[in-house]
Structure 1
């Protein structure tokens, strides 16, 4: 069955940025001291029209988001430098995305995680104190998923030294959660970072994977090359294990499922890594979801699902453990999508500024090739240390663009004094974020045309992507260390066509996490998307998959490959709408309407 919703649009006010303002902002961003290349600034030759933002509007104030991140602990307590993420989700089932933001102030801090509930006018209001997931801690990442199959999105949150599970008990649109960590038998005393729900054994109950970072000792003091104290790097500590928890289902009378730690028996305990980013997807086409972990300073790990509850680590064999010259880099954020239109999913990972972000292109089952140099990513207007990342068709022209957020992990050459305010302390780690547009399979850095993304300097970490205001344009939420969360609404002045699709699997794994959605447009072009919210860095994204359709005002068909490999076809229709595709209600595709 295809359920259609009417399109809604939010009027937008143009964001005009004059050249002088952009120039000052760029100069204010100190370049990385380790970077040997010069970085061009925005020139004053741009006209006022050229300087306007072509892609996004910063609507943070307009929509009512007033979240300010707090990083607790001593100045060089390393969890401060990792930051915190964000989760997008329709937590009260009103067809509007809400925003859950994580704090890092510590367990005794007054700074608590915040849920912003969206109202029909696309503004947001804080959920009142006591909504159930407003906890304090050294919070890191968040994942959203329906773990008890009751039709409501639940939340898992990773912390330095802990993990939390919140069961959604929302009634009558008022968002409410109950912490169920103990009841669910979940525990992780390690330093958890990114985490993701996925159904690795295809039993219909969402399991949980948690990337752990380092065996961190806060008493250790590290220094920069100058001899001055700075944050310790991953080489200063032992790496940790990625943990896997199996969802055992719900016992009679319980509201939360029970989880079992299967790290050892599944094989995940056989190899360590300093995990920061995590992605769950089928890398070899056998219809069993695998797990990629981006490791900081160690070879990446790719856990291939054997279909019997065990995994084998094969990152080197698949070509994603190292870059093209055999180096293990500082891997952080992860994005996954078909960037060259060959219907194979490619892998992108962010790194430090002294390295290059890496694009591994899929060349078929079990073969990924580093094609960073030919992709255009290295032809950037500046280099930053990247964290959160997302592929998305931000101009709705039919191919995937790329954005990622930046912020140093080591101080720049010019540094503030430790005793100065948090704003001044973090100013020496601040960088500009970036946007690349896909031009026939090659990326072009358009950051200087996007003041909303790149016009200021922050220590950015989390990035979530989704259509917040349901206007058919992808929006962004960016989190920063000791700074405000930023809300960016997509701008697409060309009025290109689009389609948003949600897939539903039925009573078990209701949101069909891991399904693959293929759309054939009216001209015969095919686009592929993975239905999964868990990518980027410390963040959870819109469950719906988004297609930009350019000048195609209709599509021929949609094919959904469900987790067990079954392919179901749904008839075509008009563009510019939201569809819900439910398993078992598809049919043979007819010509587009």
Structure 2
């Protein structure tokens, strides 16, 4: 959110020259390139820029489908069903007139099945008017406003048609959350089979335990609550491999209601400040104690030594060594790539790995981020969203955790420069087997033209959808009314809301209405939905990798996760698009501890639950893995997975019952 005052513009190129030199030298050394080879690569890139052909990329990409790339997509892929769905939520950022920076940043949402009935419910944080309190000990905002929980009452009629309907159950749930909300993440923190909730705020965060009866109870966990910082995105991961979900919490900047600065547009009008006028905060790593509560291990893991204005985070095994790494999108500063070491420490290797800065060696205003295997080579690549006039950035993984900024080679550079983007995700909206991209857009700098025209909130921009047409190329598929309206979009949560086999989107707008975008094209093609669990009816196996094998075609690799986007938590189920093929497929799961298990001849067009131990096991392992009984660092005691409690119905049985 790099909105800079006139007195504090972007860092000069001179200030980044040493960083560029270090990054390039390290990349060449680790990559094994000679100086002559690097010079040759530069020459090829120059030629490519003139001729319009790919230059020194990692490998030759297959030819894109000509018919798809020559003609723009005109069919509307999503239908806005907000009003008829009953998801009645309008975000209130306060708009105090004091231009508090936090007013411009929220908000996200969490999709999760809190009542275990087989469909996705929605939690949305709320903001409110901010008024400084002279008696506030930690300078946190006063509590007001109320976050909302919506239950999904999906109805499937006899003719097979589906009616998506949400019911506000906030009062009945016992969640009485009134902090100035930013985001939320859902996971089964106590391993009892019921999904719990963690909420990030401008102020004190909150942790709610699911009681299993439709209600929640706040957990007294000082480490999880934090000392009243400004938290943004959060993600779950099992960083120490003990079978309990830990938390990585993004902390932004040290801005309070009492130290808020004044910034202005070029025309002299009052505007929101950017992060560079405040001190960045270090992120926090919270380790699960084995009972659903947390201890702060930011210091022993070493992440507290490197602060940054963090807005987005993804957790996955980027270097394929069998341990979950963490990638953090920082706003106007070098991004962080925390490599998970066997001793429990996380080491920032972003500069050495080529994913700290843009191709030009400069930091970008990174907001949202996601990781997935878009090019089908078996490793996760990174995509992140940026400020208007900067490009969104695609870092392509070489398989060992080294990255190249190949945004322009894949057609994602120019189309993204006209907007400021936040929420994003790799997902296959048309179920053709190729991962596409969504960008939730909304300005952070005041649009003087809109302001002069009388717009009381002149920050609106249109969202974008980029379709993967094969050959590593993307085209703008932003068709229909859903992409014509200009709003101030921030978070975006992704999941199959109506269980019809395609991915829907909930877009969260700052100081505006939450939008329900129903996918109306994905279920025309074949698909397979997979829920991967440690045992029947138990928690999702976050961090597991899933491969779908089709005869005569390369495997499709996905991972079990809820992270990505911005301040949001998405559907943990893995959804594979199969195109026109309806034949049975084989599914392989690589569990977080490296064990392989396979299920053969799985029919398409259904959701299945794959529990550990119910498939055919393999002795093959992935990367350098450890057993769950192996400790990671001195002072860290491993724990066994709890076997207490199971929900009354599994996902599969709930869907079949409908």
Deviates more, 1:379-388 or 1:240-249: 379-388
Q: 1:466 aligns with which of 476, 486, 495?
A: 495
Deviation track 1:285-307 (CA, whole Å, cap 9, x = no partner) reads 11111111100000000111112
Map of 2:604 onto structure 1 = 575
| Corresponding residue of 1:355 | 390
* 1:425 alignment counterpart: 456
Deviation (angstroms), 1:228: 1.8
Q: What is the CA distance between 1:161 and its match in structure 2?
A: 2.1
Native 8 Å contact 2:143 2:180 kept in 1:
no
Alignment of 1:119-134 (within 5 A): 119-121=153-155, 122-134=164-176
Whether contact under 8 Å (1:522, 1:552) holds in the other structure is no
Q: Report the Cα offset of residue 370 of structure 1.
A: 0.7
Separation (CA, whole Å) in 1 of partners of 2:290 and 2:522 = 47
Give the Å deviation of 1:405: 0.6
1:135 aligns with 2:177: yes
Residue 534 of structure 1 aligns with which residue? 563
For residue 378 of structure 2, the aligned residue among 343, 355, 380 is: 343
Match of 1:86 in 2: 109
* Structure with the bigger percentage of helix: 2
Please show how residues 186-225 of structure 1 align to structure 2 within 5 Å: 186-218=225-257, 219-225=260-266
Residue among 62, 80, 84 paired with 2:84: 62
Task: Tell me the SS of whatever aligns to 1:449.
Answer: coil
Which of 465, 478, 481 matches 1:435? 465
State the 1:379 CA deviation: 4.2
Name the structure 2 match of 1:396.
Answer: 431
Q: Alpha carbons of 1:188 and 1:502: their partners in 2 closer, same or farther (altered >3 Å)?
A: farther
Number of matched pairs: 526
Residues 204 and 225 of structure 2 are in contact (CA less than 8 Å); yes or no, is this contact kept in structure 1? no
Contact 1:520-1:555 at 8 Å conserved across structures: no
Map 1:302-451; keep pairs closer than 5 Å.
302-380=337-415, 383-416=418-451, 424-426=455-457, 428-451=458-481
Residues 271-310 of structure 1: matches in 2 within 5 Å?
271-310=306-345
2:169 and 2:236 map into 1 onto residues whose CA distance is 24
1:381 Cα offset (Å): 7.9
Structure 1 outlier segments of 4+, above 6 Å: none
1:309 to 1:58, Cα distance in 2 relative to 1, 3 A: same
Q: Give the aligned partner of residue 170 of structure 1.
A: 212
Per-residue deviation at 1:225?
A: 2.0
- What is the distance in 1 between the residues matched to 2:362 and 2:576? 35
SS in 2 for 1:517: strand
**Deviation, structure 1 residue 525:** 2.8
Match of 1:111 in 2: 145
- Residue in 1 that maps onto 2:271: 230
Given the two structures, how large is their TM-score scaled by the length of structure 1?
0.85
Tell whether the 8 Å contact from 1:194 to 1:278 is kept in structure 2 after alignment: yes
Offset at 1:181?
Answer: 3.8
SS at match of 2:299: helix
CA RMSD of aligned residues (A): 2.2
SS at match of 2:276: helix
1:483–1:342 Cα change, 3 Å: same
Task: Tell whether the 8 Å contact from 1:186 to 1:259 is kept in structure 2 after alignment.
Answer: no
Indicate which of 187, 199, 219 corresponds to 1:157: 199
2:106 and 2:404 mapped to 1: Cα distance? 31
Q: Secondary structure at the match of 2:84?
A: helix
Structure 1 window deviating more from structure 2 (339-348 vs 367-376): it is 339-348
Q: Secondary structure at the match of 1:425?
A: coil
